Amino acid sequence: MHYKIQNNTIIYDFPKSLDFMTQKGKILFGPDFVFYDELMPIIRILFICLIQDHENMIKLGLDPRKGVLMSGPVGGGKTCLMRLMQMMLHPYHKFQLKPCRDIRLEFQKEGFGIIDYYSHQSFKFSPGF
């Protein structure tokens, strides 16, 4: 297992978590799926944010109350990475993945209330989702 629970804390093993995601990546996206070495620093930072490791976030100069904005070219692997992170996390840390396309359609129908709804903290971290 790539995480364990000790004294009410979820402790993740980073190398094992990477192995878990690589195996799932090969199943979902094909046998060529790999985590490129040059991306590892970014993947490590994303991992620290998603497991809410506040101590390491502060060391990195990141504010634990803020979200994460990931940008990059279309087809660069952002969605795949987030899907794998989602699968790897303990249910307590899981988040909902929602395509922007869907939010755009809801915005067209419902208006600005939708932006408020998706900005709400309880939506971002919904344990057991």
User: Does residue 98 bind Mg ion (CB under 5 A)?
Assistant: no
Taking the C-alpha atoms of residue 50 and residue 128, their distance in angstroms, rounded to an integer, is: 15
Q: Output 45 or 80, the one with its CB closest to ligand ADP.
A: 80
From the list 8-16, 33-41, 58-66, 113-121, the region that binds ligand ADP by CB under 6 A is 33-41
Phi/psi for 13 (5° steps) reads -100, 110
92 contacts 128 by C-beta, under 8 angstroms: yes
The helix-helix angle for 40-50 and 14-29 (nearest 10°) equals 110
Q: Output 19 or 56, the one with its CB closest to ligand ADP.
A: 19
Whole-number minimum distance, CB 116 to ligand ADP, in Å? 25
User: Does residue 32 bind ligand ADP (CB under 6 A)?
Assistant: yes
21 contacts 88 by C-beta, under 8 angstroms: yes
Give me the residues that bind Mg ion (CB under 5 A), please. 79
Give me the residues that bind ligand ADP (CB under 6 A), please. 29-30, 32-35, 72, 74-80
